[in-house]
Structure 1
């Protein structure tokens, strides 16, 4: 059975999204931060609100990736019935693009 993560750990994870891809994590983190500073991605609070509205459950992880010239958040959610889903959210407008079983 999965146990909830500590509140501080969740906040630290959600406040510092990382960009998946080759290279060091420091570089990836900088790319994500710069994308937010340039207004290319919405604030994480909006991304999480859109995710929760579309797929109720516990958010346990997220990544920010560049796909076909667009920023896309991939958010892991454990649904209320125990399924693990990956929810894709457009980083620019917080629109939920879809989800799949993970």
Structure 2
């Protein structure tokens, strides 16, 4: 089931960048960090979540099936799992502050 297409995501990203200085991910999009109790809270200097999601979907076409927010070496990292049209699940790790793709691999 596809809820939002890539074109709509890009439009939403453009609008979000104009309207709000920072957006936090929804509570169900926050990951659990094994070294902390409870969800990891995003730092205030991170990119808006929708912008990071647009970066992920530009790198890998498909449907986002899971997103976790983790802290590694003092920085917030979004881990996206994307179901590609081929049926494979692709994992992307993206730096929340810069939008840089740190890792891409098939699960």
Report the TM-score, using the length of structure 2 for normalisation: 0.68
Q: What secondary structure, in the 3-state scheme, does the structure 2 residue paired with 1:52 have?
A: helix
Residue matched to 2:26: 15
Give the structure with the larger helix fraction: 1
Query: Is 1:96 paired with 2:101?
Result: yes
Matched residue pairs, number?
Answer: 85
1:98 offset after TM fit, Å?
Answer: 2.4
Q: 1:54 & 1:6 partners in 2: Cα distance?
A: 18
Gaps of 5+ in 1: 8-13
Shift of 1:82: 0.9
- The answer (yes or no) to whether the contact 1:19–1:64 under 8 Å persists in 2 is yes
- Matching residue of 1:32: 41
The equivalent of 1:71 in structure 2 is 76
Question: What SS does the corresponding residue of 2:55 show, helix, strand or coil?
Answer: helix
Stretches of 4+ aligned residues off by more than 2 angstroms: 4-7, 14-17, 22-25
Q: Structure 2: which 5+ runs fail to align? A: 5-24
Give the TM-score, by structure 1 length.
Answer: 0.71
Question: What are the Cα deviations for residues 3-48 of structure 1, in whole angstroms up to 9, with x where unaligned?
Answer: x2778xxxxxx633313224543xx2xx425x1xx21x21111111
